[in-house]
Structure 1
Amino acid sequence: MEPAIDPGVTGNSQDARRILQRTRGKATGSITRLASPSDIGRLIKPFVFLDYIDVKSPIEVNGPLHPHSGIATLTALVEGSFHHQDSKGQPKSMKAGGMEWMQAGRGIWHGGPAGTSGAAKLYQLWIALPPTLELSAPYEMFLEPDEVPSNGPARVMMGRIEGEASPVSEPRPITYLNVRLRKGERWRYTPPRDHDVLWISVYSGSLDAGEQVSEGELVVFEHSERSVDFFAKEDCGFVLGSATHSPFDLVEGYYSVHTNPAALQSGEQEIERLGAQLCADGRLTPERAAQVAHQMSTVTTKS
Structure 2
Amino acid sequence: MQAVASPTTTIRRIVYRTRGHSHGGITRLMSPSDLGESLKPFVFLDIFDMERPMLDAMRAGAGMSIHPHSGIATVTVLTEGRMKFDDPSSGTGTLSYGGVEWLRAGSGVWHGKELTPDDVNFVQGFQLWLALPPDLENGEPESRYIESQGIPTVGPARIILGTHAGVTSPTPAPSGINYLLVTLKAGESWTYQPPAGHSIGWLALAKGALQADTSVRAGDMVVFEDAEAAITVQAGPEGDAVFVMASAVPHPHELHLGNYSVHTSAQALEAGERRIEELRQRMVAAGNRRTSTGNVPVFR
The TM-score bracket by the shorter chain reads 0.7 to 0.9
Do 1:10 and 1:187's aligned partners in 2 also have CA atoms closer than 8 Å? no
Which of the numbers 191, 200, 217 marks the counterpart of 1:197? 200
Instruction: Name 2:231's counterpart in structure 1.
Output: 228
Query: What RMSD in Å do the two structures reach over aligned CA positions?
Result: 2.2
1:154 match: 157
Aligned pair partner of 2:260 in 246, 252, 255: 255
Task: Give the C-alpha shift of residue 81 in structure 1.
Answer: 0.9
**Alpha-carbon distance in structure 1 between the residues aligned to 2:168 and 2:178:** 10
Matched, 1:182 2:185: yes
Aligned residue pairs total 278
Q: Secondary structure at the residue paired with 2:276?
A: helix
Decide whether aligned partners of structure 1 residues 85 and 28 sit closer, same or farther in structure 2, where only a CA change above 3 A counts: farther
With 39-48 and 52-61 compared, the bigger mean Cα shift is at 52-61
- Determine the structure 2 residue equivalent to 1:279: 284
| 1:282-301 deviations in Å (ceiling 9; x for gaps) | 149xxxxxxxxxxxxxxxxx
Matches within 5 A, 1:94-243: 94-112=95-113, 114-116=116-118, 117-234=120-237, 235-243=240-248
CA deviations over 1:214-236 (Å, ceiling 9, x no partner): 10000000111111111111321
Instruction: Check 1:110–1:39 CA distance in 2 against 1; reply closer, same or farther (3 A cut).
Output: same
Deviation at 1:121? 0.7
With over 3 angstroms needed to count, the CA separation of the structure-2 counterparts of 1:128 and 1:56, relative to structure 1, is same
Measure how far apart 1:6 and its partner are: 5.5
Percent of paired sites with the same residue:
42
Tell me how far apart the structure 1 counterparts of residues 244 and 5 of structure 2 sit (CA, whole Å). Answer: 20
Contact kept, 8 Å, 1:84 with 1:112, in 2: the verdict is: no
Instruction: Provide the rounded CA distance (Å) in 2 between the counterparts of 1:65 and 1:144.
Output: 23
Q: Which runs of 5+ in 1 are unaligned?
A: 285-303
**C-alpha separation between the residues in 2 aligned to 1:24 and 1:267?**
31
User: Structure 1 length normalisation: TM-score?
Assistant: 0.86
Structure 2 residue aligned with 1:297: none
Question: How far apart, CA to CA, are the structure 1 residues paired with 2:21 and 2:86?
Answer: 26
Q: CA deviation at 1:180?
A: 0.7
Post-superposition offset of 1:56: 3.2
CA offsets 1:65-111 (integer angstroms, 9 cap, x no match)? 21100000000011111235659798763222211000000001112
Q: Which moved more, 1:272-281 or 1:130-139?
A: 272-281
Shift of 1:251: 0.6
Letter in 1 for 2:140: A
